[in-house]
């Protein structure tokens, strides 16, 4: 094998190189017939044509006018300030220019009068030159900051109210001081507060300090709202969600007190609800017609209130129920119909009931129209021979 390979190398040694032939156009044509080569060639031909066109004729856009514009992003608008109660509830937004009754026109204000009582008129100052009344009030003498020493203890979900070792109760210590003047007395509770910042601030700032304010236990920053209300002189109630008819489709919220709750369940739920904040003199119901109808549920509920020295002020649905450290029930709800005329009529009826029986309590929700109407109605109570009192002044203890 080695010899044959050596002989082949030797045979070719010194032989001249094979001659190179001329380029074959036939072979080039065969290559161009291949699809990839044809596509590449077409592309190159197009690029060459464009380059030749620009070289001979120049850039076709060379003579077109151009302009450079500097674009600036507009600065973000500053967030609008939360309006105060006076700014949020004007005559225009409430439509208080409507005819409130057949009571005629007040010659002093030019506004409709409610027959035999008060209309939504008063001081000047609204847009369009329409008279408005009940401006934002200056803070009344503030109530003591909560918690008051001896009236609170730590609980599993927050600070809980307790009766102090010296016998003082939250129902007494957190109530607004009241001194009767001999006139019939009327009280008003405005509830549903804490969920809407504008309406809550409006109620605190615009309603007289004698109006009792009721707060929702689920409100964010609840303690801050209660502190602000007390700083303006308002005593405070905490709302207890109670089982209504139609529950759970009609659901008052988490930790709702149910008619079927055991005593232990009731205690745990009330510890959560009462521990949401401090500084309230008592509680009130939120819904609860089914709960109130249960003897066992109401007994467990009021027993907890007695042990903690708390008052129970209901909207009238529990009028026949006793219990709690002290009790009272509302005579009527002032804003079941949410129009200025209807609310003023109910407020006037409440005033008439106070003159008839010596005292009367009304409740309402913090609708803008309710806050506005109540602020204006209450402004002239003293001149009409009625004293505005806090709700706590109308509570009584069993056997007293």
Tell me, what CATH number does 206's domain have? Answer: 3.20.20.370
> What's the longest Cα–Cα distance across the chain?
146
Confidence band, pLDDT 50/70/90 cuts, at residue 203:
very high
Q: Which residue has the higher pLDDT, 267 or 28?
A: 267
Average pLDDT over residues 80-104: 37
pLDDT at 322: 83
In a domain, 169, yes or no: yes
Q: Which residue has the higher pLDDT, 376 or 25?
A: 376
Structure tokens at 70: 């500097």
Tell me if 386 sits within 8 A of 351, measured CB to CB: yes
Q: What are phi and psi of 172, to 5 degrees?
A: -90, -50
Q: Look at residue 53 in the predicted model and tell me its pLDDT.
A: 52
Domain span holding position 230: 152-394
The verdict on residue 16 lying in a domain is: no
Residue 257: CA count within 13 A, CB half-sphere: 35
Asked if pLDDT for residue 95 goes beyond 90, the answer is no
Kindly report the average pLDDT of the chain as a whole number. 79
Torsion sign, CA atoms 216, 217, 222, 228: positive
Measured between alpha carbons, how far is 30 from 49 in angstroms, rounded to an integer? Answer: 24
226 pLDDT higher than 60: yes
Rounded Cα gap, residues 392 and 176, in angstroms: 7
Give percent of the chain with pLDDT exceeding 70.
65
**Tokens standing for 212?**
């009792």
pLDDT at residue number 72: 56
**Which has the minimum average pLDDT: 191-200, 225-234, 270-279, 320-329?**
320-329
- The Cα 234–Cα 219 span in angstroms is 18
Residue 20 in this model has a pLDDT that exceeds 70 = no
The pairing of beta strand 332-333 with beta strand 185-193: unpaired
Q: Is 359 helix (H, G, I), strand (E, B) or coil?
A: strand
Task: Look at residue 228 and tell me whether its pLDDT is greater than 50.
Answer: yes
Taking residue 93's Cβ as centre, other Cβ atoms within 10 Å add up to 13
The total of structural domains in the chain comes to: 1
* pLDDT score for 145: 96
At residue 11, does pLDDT exceed 80?
A: no
Residue among 239, 222, 233 at smallest CA distance from 313? 239
Q: Is residue 54 part of a domain?
A: no
Cα distances (Å, whole numbers) of residue 349 to 234, 328, 365, 396: 24, 19, 17, 23
**pLDDT grade for 400, boundaries at 50, 70 and 90:** low
Find all residues with CB under 8 Å of 294, minimum gap 6, and list them: 259
Residue 388 included in any domain: yes
The confidence score (pLDDT) of residue 33 equals 60
What b/e string do you get for 96-106 counting C-beta neighbours within 10 Å, with b at 16 or more? bbeebbeeeeb
Is 198 domain-assigned?
Answer: yes
85-104: average pLDDT: 36
Q: Is residue 115 part of a domain?
A: no
Residue 128 lies in a domain: no
Mean pLDDT of 327-334: 97
**How does DSSP assign 344-358, residue by residue?**
HHHHHHHHHHHHHHS
Q: Pairing mode, if any, of strands 152-154 and 159-161?
A: antiparallel
CA nearest to 344, candidates 379, 385, 382? 379
Domain-located, residue 52: no
């Amino acid at each position: 094998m080695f010899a044959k390979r050596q002989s082949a190398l030797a045979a070719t040694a010194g032989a001249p190189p094979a001659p190179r032939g001329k380029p074959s156009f036939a072979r080039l044509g065969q290559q161009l017939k291949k699809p990839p080569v044809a596509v590449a060639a077409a592309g190159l031909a197009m690029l060459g044509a464009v380059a030749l066109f620009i070289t001979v004729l120049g850039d076709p856009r060379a003579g077109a006018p151009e302009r450079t514009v500097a674009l600036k992003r507009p600065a973000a608008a500053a967030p609008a300030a939360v309006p105060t109660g006076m700014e949020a509830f004007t005559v225009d937004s409430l439509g208080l220019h409507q005819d409130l009754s057949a009571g005629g026109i007040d010659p002093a204000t030019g506004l409709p009068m409610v027959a035999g009582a008060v209309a939504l008129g008063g001081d000047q100052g609204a847009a369009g030159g329409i008279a408005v009344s009940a401006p934002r009030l200056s803070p009344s003498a503030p109530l003591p900051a909560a918690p008051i020493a001896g009236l609170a203890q730590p609980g599993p979900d927050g600070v809980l109210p307790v009766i102090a070792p010296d016998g003082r109760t939250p129902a007494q210590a957190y109530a607004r001081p009241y001194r009767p003047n001999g006139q019939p007395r009327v009280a008003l509770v405005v509830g549903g507060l804490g969920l809407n910042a504008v309406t809550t601030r409006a109620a605190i700032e615009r309603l007289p300090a004698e109006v009792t304010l009721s707060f929702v236990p689920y409100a964010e920053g609840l303690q801050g709202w209660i502190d602000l209300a007390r700083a303006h002189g308002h005593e405070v109630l905490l709302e207890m969600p109670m089982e209504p008819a139609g529950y759970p489709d009609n659901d008052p919220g988490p930790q709702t007190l149910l008619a079927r709750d055991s005593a232990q369940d009731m205690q745990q739920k009330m510890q959560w609800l009462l521990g949401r904040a401090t500084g309230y003199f008592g509680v009130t119901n939120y819904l609860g017609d089914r709960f109130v109808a249960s003897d066992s549920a109401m007994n467990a509920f009021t027993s907890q209130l007695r042990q903690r020295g708390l008052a129970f002020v209901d909207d009238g649905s529990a009028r026949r129920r006793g219990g709690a450290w002290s009790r009272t029930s509302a005579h009527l709800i002032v804003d079941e119909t949410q129009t200025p005329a209807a609310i003023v009529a109910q407020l006037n009826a409440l005033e008439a009931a106070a003159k008839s029986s010596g005292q009367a309590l009304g409740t309402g929700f913090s609708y803008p129209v309710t806050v506005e109407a109540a602020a204006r109605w209450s402004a002239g109570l003293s001149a009409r021979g009625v004293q505005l009192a806090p709700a706590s002044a109308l509570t009584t203890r069993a056997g007293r």
